[in-house]
Structure 1
Amino acid sequence: MKKIFILFIFSAILVSCQKEKVDLIVINSNTYLVNEKFENAEAFAVKDGKFIAISTTKEIQENYKSDNVVDAKNQTIVPGLIDAHCHFYGLGLQQQKVDLTGTKSYDEVLDKIVAFQKEKNATFISGRGWDQNDWDVKEFPTKEKLDKLFPTTPIAVRRVDGHALLVNQAAIDLSGITTDTKVTGGEIIIQNGKMTGVLIDAAMDFIKFPETSNKEAIQGLLDAQKIAFSYGLTTVDDAGLDRNTIELIDDLQKSNKLKMRIYAMISGDKQEQIDYYIKKGITKTDRLNVRSFKIYGDGALGSRGAAMRKSYTDRENHFGALIYAPERYREIARQIAASEFQMNTHAIGDSANTWMLKTYKEVLKDTKNRRWRIEHAQIISTKDFQDFDNILPSVQPTHATSDMYWAEARIGKERMKGAYAYKTLLNKYGKIALGTDFPVEQVNPFLTFYSATYRKDLNNFPEDGFQMENSLSRKETLRGMTIWAAFSNFEEQEKGSIEVGKFADFVILNQDIMSVDGGKIPKTNVVSTFLNGEKVYSK
C-alpha cells in the first residue's frame, strides 16, 4: 500500500512537471474569440503577454499551470476593445478644464463656468461640451452674458463636436480679431454688425490659447488612460496629434507609465509636420503605431460647417465649407500616396465626401490595400457609395442617435437616405471600423454597440429604431469594435481577436452583450480589463 501511495505521488509530480508554466490561465469563461468563424472557447493560457493556447477548461488545466488563475465563472469575455476614432489626448486635457457636456441650456453653461472659476481661479478659462441642439432654444449663444460675468478673464469653450467655439470679448481682444478679419474654411458669426462670440472651424484658430504645460499633458494622458481602461478599451485611434504629443506618448510608453496602445493619426494641418513624418517613416512599437495622417475635409453638421452639395434645408444659401481649397487636398493626397502612410479624412457633408472620395480614387488609382479611411462618412450621395469599394469607412454609431432628433430638419428627407448608412457602407467595403469620437460622444463603447444594433436612445426612442435598414448585427458590431478596427490600423495580425500568437488583450464583462436583451446593452459594465495578460482595471 505504501509503494502504491509513493507511486501515485511520483506520478502526480511527473504530470505536474510536464505542464507548461505560464503567466496567466483563464478558465470557465464564455469567450468570444472573434476569429474568422466567430467561435467560442472556455479557457485560454497567456505567456509573455500573448495567447499561447485556447481550448476547454479541462484541456488548459491538463496542459498548463500558473500562479495566476482567473475563474471567470461563466462571465463573458471579448477581445480588448478598439476605439477606431477618438480624441484620447483631448479627453485627458478636458479633465483639467470646465466640462459642459450634457448642459440643457445656455444658463446652465454659464453656471458651470462660474462654478469652475470659483474652484480654479483660472487666468484663462477653456472647456468643451455645449450643444445648442440640446437646448430649448436651439440657437447659437451670444457672448453678452459672458462679457458681464467675466469682463477681464478670457473664455473660450468649444462646442461638443469641437467645430465651434464660444468666446467672450476678453478672448477676442487677446486674439486681435475683428468683424473685418478674413476667414477661409470657417466663419466668424456676425449679427447686426457685431461679433456674437461664436467662431466656426478655421476661425477658431485665431484664438490664442495658453500653452499646455508638460505636467498638464502627462496628467491628461494618464487620466484618459484610466477612463479608457475602465470601459474595456485597450487600443485607441487618436484622430489628430501633433509631433510633441506623439513624442511625449512614446516617452511615457517606453518608461511604462502609459500602457494604452495608441494608433496615432498625425495632424495634417501643418505642411512641416507632414514633411517631417514622411521623411522619418512609419514608427511602430507594440504600443504605438504612427503611420497615418488625419486631414479635416469639412466641419460638423451640428454647427452647419459640414460641406453640402446643396444649401442646408434650415438655412437658405448656406452650404458649409471645405476646410482647405480643393486643390490642397490633391496636393496632400499625392504626397501621402507616394509614401507608405495612410490618409484618414474627416468628411461629414455629402460635398466633402464626394470630393475626398474623388481625390482618393484619383491618386491611389488601382493600388490595393492602402486602407485609406473616410472618418465619419456621415452624409453620402447615393451615387458615391460605390466608391467605398476600396475606401474604408470609419464611423461612430452614437452620432446617429445623437443627431436623429434634428438631422432631417437640417438636411431634408431626401439626403437622409444616405446619412448614417452604416450597413450600406459595410456592404460596399466588406468591413467597417467603429469608434465613438469621444469626448464629442461618451467614451462608453457599449453605447456604440447599442446605437449600432438598435439605433435608439436610452429612453427607447424611436420605438422602432432610427433608419433600421442601416443597423448592424451584433456580430458585425463586435467585429467593428475589434478585428475590423485592428484591420483599419494594419494591426489585425497582432490584436483584435483572441487567437494564439496575438497580444493577450481581453475584457471580462458583467453580461453577455451577444445575447442579452437589447435594452440592457447600455447597462453593460466592465469587470476587468487585461492588456498583455496584465490586469489594468478591475471594478
Structure 2
Amino acid sequence: MKTCYSIVFLVLLISCQKPKTVDLVIYNAKIYTVDSFFSVQEAMAIKDGKILDVNSTEHILNRYQADNMHDLKNKYIYPGINDAHAHLYGLGQNLRGVDLKGTNSFKEIVHRIVDYKEKFNSEFILGRGWDQNDWKVKEFPTKDTLDMLFPNTPIVLTRIDGHAMLVNQKVLDLAGIDDNTKAEGGAILKKNGQLTGVLVDNPMEMVEGVVPPLDKAEIKKALTKAEAIAIQNGLTSLTDAGLSKKVILTIKEMHQNNELKIRINAMVSNTQEDIDYFLNKGVIKTPRLRVGSIKVYADGALGSRGAALKAPYTDQANHYGAMVIGLDEFDSLAHEIVKSEYQMNTHAIGDSANAVVLRTYQKYLNDKSNRRWRVEHAQVLDPSEYVCFSKNILPSVQPTHATSDMYWAEDRLGEKRVKHAYAYKRLLEEAEILPLGTDFPVEKVNPMLTFYAAVSRQDAEGYPDEGFQPQNALTRKEALKGMTIWAAYAAFEENEKGSLEPGKYADFIILNEDLMTIDIKKVPDLNVQKTYINGELEYEK
C-alpha cells in the first residue's frame, strides 16, 4: 500500500510541475530524426542552439514552454542537409564572372562574353561552366575567336568540372605559356601544331597565377553570397573541398563575428605552406568550423579526359589521362599526414588513380583505426578494389555526377568498364557509410537533386526509364543518411550534428511534402520552406 501511495504522489508531483522554459518548441510535425533507429517523432524542444528533447507532441507540450511555439500542422522536418563535398567559396568566386552553364555551343559562349564585356567593361574576364559534351560538336573549343574579339582583354573560361580551361592569347602571354612549355600532370592542347588555348589540369596553375586575387573584403562578399544560396537550399553544413589558409582564416573570423552562419568542414588545399601551418596547429574545432583534413588531387576529370585510367580511353586511342601528383610525392604526403591527426582526402576519378590512392591508404592505415581517410568521387574502379573501402577508408560521392555524365560516360570508358563507374550501392555495401555531396558549383547546389539522382538514377526529365545502372541506386533512407549523418561521420562530427537528437545542434529544415514517400519524380521540384541553424530561422520561403 505504501508503494502505491508513493507512485500516486510522484504522478501528482510531475503533473503539477511547471513546464520548463526553452527557446523554441515545434510540435505537430513529422520529424525524421535519422537517429540509429531512424525514428519518427512529432515535436522538439530547443534551448541555447541545441535540441533538448524530441518526442511526441503531448510529451513536449506537457514539459516545455517557449515564447516561440510553432504548430507545424503536419509539415515535415529533417536534419539540416550536410553537403559532404562542395565548394562554397568557389561558388562565391563564380558569381563575379560569366555564367557559362547550359551553353549549347561555343558560339553561345562568345555571345555571353560579349554581353558581359559590354555590361561591365571588365579588364579581366572570368567565366565557368562550359561543357563540350553538351554541344553538337563534342570537341574542345579553340581560342581563335577570343583572340580576334578580345586581343587585349585577358579571358579565362574554366570548364564545368574545374579541370580544364580555355584562355586567349593574351592570357597565354601573361602566363608565359608557348609552344615550348612542358606539361606534366596535364596537357597544353594543340591543333595542327598550334596552341588551342585549352589547358588541362596542372598547366592551369600557371594561369591561376596571373588572375587578379580577391582581397579580404571580396572574399567575405563571395562567401556571404554563396552562403545565402546554400541556406536557401537547406544546407546547414558542408565540407568545402580545398581552401587556402587565407580563406579558412577569413571564415573563422566571419564565424566569430556572426557574419557567417553555415557550419563548414574545411579541407586544406595541398600547398606545402598551408599544410605546414595547419598540421603544426593541429585540428581546429569551433562550433561552426572544423579544420582537420588535407585535400589532394590524384588525377583530373573524366569529362576533360584527365582522369587517370589503367587502359586507354575508348574514344581516344593511346590516351590514359594523367596523375596530377607524382607517385613519390603522394606517398611522402600520406606519410606526413598519417603522423598527424588530419585526414587525407584525395580526389580520384579514374581506376588507375583510385588504385594508387587505395594502395597508399592501406599502406599507412594498416594498423590504424578511426582515421576515416576519404576518396573523393571514387568514380571509376577496378572491380577487385571495392573491398578496399571501409569505415576507415571512405568513398565520398556525388550522385548527380552519375546522371550528368551518363550520356557520354560509356563513350569514354567502354561498355565493360562503365559498369564499375558511379557504383554507389556497391561502395556502400563495402564501406557501410556513404557520404553524399554535390560538388557544387560543378553541379547545382540543390540537395533535392542529390536525393533524386541517388534514388532514381535519372535526370530531371526521367531519363532513362529504368535509371542509369539502377542496380546502384540507393534507398531513400540511405540517401537521406548520406546527406546528413553519414556526411557528419565523414567529418568526425556525427556526435554533434547529422541527426535530430538531444544534445545535438538544432539544425533542421522544414518541407511541405514527405521526402520519404512522395513520388520520386516530384522530388526535384521540392522547395525548402524553412532552414534553421542553431535553432534560429535563417531562411523562410
TM over 0.5: yes
Report if the CA contact (8 A) 1:184-1:324 is conserved: no
The TM-score, its normalising length taken from structure 2, stands at 0.96
- Where 2:466 maps in the other structure, the secondary structure is coil
User: 2:296 is matched with which residue?
Assistant: 295
- Give the AA of the match of 1:223: K
Q: Which runs of 5+ in 1 are unaligned?
A: 1-13
- Where 2:266 maps in the other structure, the secondary structure is strand
User: How far apart are residue 71 of structure 1 and its match?
Assistant: 1.5
- Give the AA of the match of 1:246: I
User: 1:222 is matched with which residue?
Assistant: 224
User: How far apart are residue 55 of structure 1 and its match?
Assistant: 1.0
d(CA) in 1 for partners of 2:477, 2:367: 31
d(CA) in 1 for partners of 2:441, 2:512: 25
From 238, 241, 245, the equivalent of 2:240 is: 238
User: How far apart are residue 215 of structure 1 and its match?
Assistant: 2.1
Deviations 1:198-217 (A, max 9, x none): 00000111111111122221
From 430, 436, 439, the equivalent of 2:438 is: 436
d(CA) in 2 for partners of 1:85, 1:211: 24
d(CA) in 1 for partners of 2:57, 2:325: 57
Report if the CA contact (8 A) 1:25-1:43 is conserved: yes
Q: Does residue 492 of the first structure (1) align with residue 490 of the second (2)?
A: no
- Where 2:386 maps in the other structure, the secondary structure is helix
d(CA) in 1 for partners of 2:380, 2:217: 40
User: 2:311 is matched with which residue?
Assistant: 310
d(CA) in 2 for partners of 1:417, 1:136: 26
d(CA) in 2 for partners of 1:158, 1:363: 35
User: 1:464 is matched with which residue?
Assistant: 466
- Give the AA of the match of 1:400: A
Q: Does residue 359 of the first structure (1) align with residue 364 of the second (2)?
A: no
Deviations 1:2-55 (A, max 9, x none): xxxxxxxxxxxx979711111001011111000001010111100000000111
Deviations 1:442-478 (A, max 9, x none): 0000000000000001111000100010000000000
The TM-score, its normalising length taken from structure 1, stands at 0.96
User: 2:377 is matched with which residue?
Assistant: 376
d(CA) in 2 for partners of 1:112, 1:17: 67
- Where 1:314 maps in the other structure, the secondary structure is coil
Report if the CA contact (8 A) 1:446-1:524 is conserved: yes
d(CA) in 1 for partners of 2:259, 2:277: 27
User: 1:340 is matched with which residue?
Assistant: 341
User: 2:54 is matched with which residue?
Assistant: 54
- Where 2:157 maps in the other structure, the secondary structure is strand
Deviations 1:53-99 (A, max 9, x none): 11111221111111111221111110010000000100011111111
Percentage identity across aligned positions? Answer: 52
User: 1:8 is matched with which residue?
Assistant: none
d(CA) in 1 for partners of 2:493, 2:20: 29
How is 1:452-531 mapped onto 2 (pairs within 5 angstroms)?
452-531=454-533
User: How far apart are residue 366 of structure 1 and its match?
Assistant: 2.1
User: How far apart are residue 196 of structure 1 and its match?
Assistant: 0.3
Deviations 1:421-450 (A, max 9, x none): 000000001010000000000000000000
User: 1:163 is matched with which residue?
Assistant: 163
- Give the AA of the match of 2:311: K
Report if the CA contact (8 A) 1:35-1:498 is conserved: yes
User: 2:113 is matched with which residue?
Assistant: 113
- Where 1:322 maps in the other structure, the secondary structure is coil
- Where 1:375 maps in the other structure, the secondary structure is strand
Deviations 1:111-139 (A, max 9, x none): 11111111111110012100000111110
Which stretch shows the higher mean deviation, 472-481 or 165-174?
165-174
d(CA) in 2 for partners of 1:315, 1:506: 47
User: 2:402 is matched with which residue?
Assistant: 400
- Give the AA of the match of 1:130: W
- Where 1:18 maps in the other structure, the secondary structure is coil
- Give the AA of the match of 1:304: R
User: 1:4 is matched with which residue?
Assistant: none
- Where 1:299 maps in the other structure, the secondary structure is coil
- Give the AA of the match of 2:294: F
- Give the AA of the match of 1:152: N
d(CA) in 1 for partners of 2:215, 2:157: 19
- Where 2:509 maps in the other structure, the secondary structure is strand
User: 2:278 is matched with which residue?
Assistant: 277
User: 1:3 is matched with which residue?
Assistant: none
d(CA) in 2 for partners of 1:119, 1:367: 56
- Where 1:256 maps in the other structure, the secondary structure is coil
d(CA) in 2 for partners of 1:250, 1:239: 16
User: 2:67 is matched with which residue?
Assistant: 67
- Give the AA of the match of 2:280: K
User: 1:327 is matched with which residue?
Assistant: 328
User: 2:416 is matched with which residue?
Assistant: 414
- Give the AA of the match of 2:202: A
d(CA) in 2 for partners of 1:139, 1:73: 53
User: 2:10 is matched with which residue?
Assistant: none
d(CA) in 2 for partners of 1:529, 1:410: 40
User: 2:123 is matched with which residue?
Assistant: 123
- Give the AA of the match of 2:69: V
d(CA) in 2 for partners of 1:315, 1:434: 31
Q: Does residue 199 of the first structure (1) align with residue 161 of the second (2)?
A: no
- Where 2:529 maps in the other structure, the secondary structure is strand
d(CA) in 1 for partners of 2:417, 2:65: 59
d(CA) in 2 for partners of 1:15, 1:171: 75
d(CA) in 1 for partners of 2:69, 2:92: 33
User: How far apart are residue 244 of structure 1 and its match?
Assistant: 0.3
Q: How much is the aligned-residue C-alpha RMSD, in angstroms?
A: 1.1
- State the 4+ residue runs in structure 1 displaced beyond 2 angstroms: 14-17
d(CA) in 2 for partners of 1:32, 1:321: 44
User: How far apart are residue 191 of structure 1 and its match?
Assistant: 1.1
User: How far apart are residue 161 of structure 1 and its match?
Assistant: 0.2
How many residues of Structure 1 are paired with residues of Structure 2 in the alignment?
Answer: 525
How is 1:24-173 mapped onto 2 (pairs within 5 angstroms)?
24-173=24-173
- Give the AA of the match of 2:345: N
d(CA) in 2 for partners of 1:223, 1:180: 41
d(CA) in 2 for partners of 1:73, 1:106: 50
d(CA) in 1 for partners of 2:238, 2:469: 28
